[in-house]
């Protein structure tokens, strides 16, 4: 199953690029927070510092890249054309960035008014995106697993945002709410019903395209995201009806779907037509393995043998969010950003005129150097969950350096693109 791509419908490069370049800055802020406060950030998943660092990564890094990718992908892959994409991207990006900063500040320096402001800004940013991009994608007939997955991802984003706004308002207003259940539900939709569904859907396109693998099997590409979305919906019903056994069943289905995706991706990568591995391949392989380990530990965490081990919740979060989503997203950025630069240069040059290859816009050596920093940061942060007093600050420093290097590499690609564009303009 290969998607038919319409690159002539690509939005202006500035539309997705603003999200891609902002994301590493938020990850750097998370590294600074860990470097400054050290073990306190890893004390508990409920610590205000932990919540601040978590949302710097999930909202500031993950969501920024995901929204930017959707603005690029929707017209190209699904034929869902956004009206005024540059204007929408500019407004959503600014509101999302400000809302994330306000939310993190509210965690660090609690004030009800800040939580209300953060909920308003973030809710507005995602609402505008859903009303514009969502309307475009839902107007397209569901003719492929990719389009179905995109629609499910939009529904997941709406649920994640709604629950997040509810929790922010509840904390800011002192509402009586079972926070443990609702925070778990928010995380379930955010990491499973939204992020994982979108990741799978985009993987159906980018893995065969950029890594030269066979296509994902059609049946699997249908049932994996559908099972995630249905499981998140069942979990919601379980929370409302107070049926913990039902949420446990939904969790097992979600974990099995995630393990199936990771295993299938690794198998396809072994069948790739490109013999020489590159940085993106290594990122995705490590991300698949980290996610698989995190999912297994997540389901084992309910057993008496390990449930009282205090580092386990944070360890699971580090494996799935940083090792998994962080690896997937960074690997994807290293393909998407140079490719978009090459594509826009190709359109500018016209047919028959050569433009620099993608590896001239961003070298493999630069990506490999940053990748070593990322893997070191991932290893240190994983170990810091067990030995926070010793390793929290070194992990924060490595995390900061890894994402600073990512930002530098992306800026190198942008500068190379602009230089080539200028030379093409002079030649014309």
What tens digit of pLDDT does each residue of 349-361 get? 766 677 788 888 9
CA dist 248 and 190 (Å) reads 17
| SS3 state of residue 355 | coil
Tokens matching residue 106 = 């509210």
Contact 103, 118 (CB under 8 A): yes
Q: Residue 279 carries which DSSP code?
A: H
Across 315-332, average pLDDT:
96
Residue 252 placed within a domain = no
Quick one: pLDDT at residue 207?
A: 92
Domain containing 375: what range?
Answer: 296-428
- Cα distances (angstroms) measured from residue 256 to each of 65, 224, 229, 251, 268: 26, 9, 13, 9, 18
pLDDT tens profile 231-282: 999 999 999 999 999 999 999 999 999 999 999 999 999 999 876 788 999 9
The pLDDT score that the predictor gives to residue 428 is 43
Do 117 and 94 form a contact (C-beta atoms < 8 A)? no
* Largest distance between two CA atoms of the chain: 71
Determine the 3-state secondary structure of 109 from DSSP: coil
Cα-based angle 156, 53, 125 (whole degrees, multiple of 5): 40
What pLDDT shows up at residue 358? 84
The Cα 251–Cα 185 span in angstroms is: 11
pLDDT in tens, 57-73: 999 999 999 999 999 98
Asked if residue 427 belongs to a domain, the reply is: yes
Q: Is the pLDDT of residue 95 over 90?
A: yes
Q: How many domains does the chain have?
A: 1
**Distance, CA of 179 to CA of 190 (rounded, Å):** 16
Q: What is the CA radius of gyration of the chain?
A: 21
pLDDT number for residue 2: 47
In a domain, 320, yes or no: yes
**Confidence label for 399 from pLDDT (cuts 50, 70 and 90):** very high
Which residue, 148, 97, 140, 85, is CA-closest to 122? 97
**Is-contact 341 18, C-beta < 8 A?**
no
Any domain includes 372: yes
The answer to whether residue 393 is domain-embedded is yes
pLDDT-derived band at 421 (thresholds 50, 70, 90) equals confident
Nearest Cα to 288, choosing from 252, 325, 313?
325
Tell me whether residue 335 is in a domain. yes
pLDDT of residue 304: 55
Is residue 124 pLDDT above 90, yes or no? yes
3-state SS string for 52-90: HHHHHHHHHHHHHHHHHHHHHHHHHHHCCCCCCHHHHHH
238 domain residue, yes or no: no
Residue 132 resides in a domain: no
Q: Which whole number is the average pLDDT over 319-335?
A: 96
pLDDT at residue 1 in the model: 44
In sequence order, the 6+-apart residues with CB closer than 8 A to the CB of 402 are 31, 370, 373, 374, 376, 377
């Amino acid at each position: 199953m290969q998607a038919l791509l319409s690159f002539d419908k690509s939005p202006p490069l500035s539309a997705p690029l603003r999200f891609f370049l902002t994301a590493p800055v938020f990850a750097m802020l998370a590294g600074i927070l860990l470097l400054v406060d050290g073990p306190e950030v890893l004390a508990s998943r409920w610590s205000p510092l932990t919540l601040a660092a978590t949302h710097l990564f999930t909202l500031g890094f993950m969501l920024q890249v995901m929204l930017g990718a959707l603005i690029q992908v929707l017209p190209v892959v699904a034929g869902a054309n956004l009206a005024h994409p540059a204007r929408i991207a500019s407004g959503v990006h600014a509101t999302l960035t400000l809302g994330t900063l306000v939310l993190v500040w509210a965690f660090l320096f609690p004030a009800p008014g800040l939580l209300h402001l953060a909920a308003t800004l973030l809710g507005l940013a995602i609402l505008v995106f859903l009303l514009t991009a969502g309307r475009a994608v839902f107007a397209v007939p569901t003719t492929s697993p990719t389009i179905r997955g995109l629609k499910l991802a939009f529904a997941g984003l709406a649920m994640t945002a709604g629950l997040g706004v509810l929790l922010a308002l509840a904390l800011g207003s002192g509402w009586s709410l079972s926070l443990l259940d609702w925070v778990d539900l928010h995380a379930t939709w955010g990491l499973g019903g939204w992020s994982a569904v979108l990741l799978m859907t985009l993987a159906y396109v980018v893995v065969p395209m950029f890594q030269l693998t066979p296509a994902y099997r059609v049946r699997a590409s249908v049932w994996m995201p559908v099972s995630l979305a249905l499981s998140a919906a069942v979990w919601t019903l379980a929370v409302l009806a107070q049926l913990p056994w039902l949420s446990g069943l939904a969790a097992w289905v979600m974990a099995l779907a995630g393990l199936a995706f990771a295993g299938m991706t690794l198998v396809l990568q072994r069948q790739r037509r490109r013999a020489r591995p590159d940085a993106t391949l290594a990122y995705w392989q490590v991300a698949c393995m980290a996610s698989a380990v995190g999912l297994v530990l997540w389901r084992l965490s309910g057993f008496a043998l390990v449930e009282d081990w205090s580092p386990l919740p944070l360890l699971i979060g580090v494996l799935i969010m940083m090792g998994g989503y962080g690896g997937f997203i960074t690997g994807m950025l290293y393909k998407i950003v140079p490719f978009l630069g090459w594509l826009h240069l190709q359109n500018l040059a016209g047919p028959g005129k050569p433009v620099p290859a993608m590896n001239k816009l961003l070298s493999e050596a630069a990506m490999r150097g940053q990748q070593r920093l990322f893997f070191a940061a991932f290893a240190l942060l994983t170990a810091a969950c067990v030995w926070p007093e010793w390793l929290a600050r070194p992990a924060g420093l490595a995390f900061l350096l890894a994402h600073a290097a990512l930002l530098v590499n992306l800026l190198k690609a942008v500068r190379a693109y602009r230089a080539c564009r200028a030379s093409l303009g002079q030649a014309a």
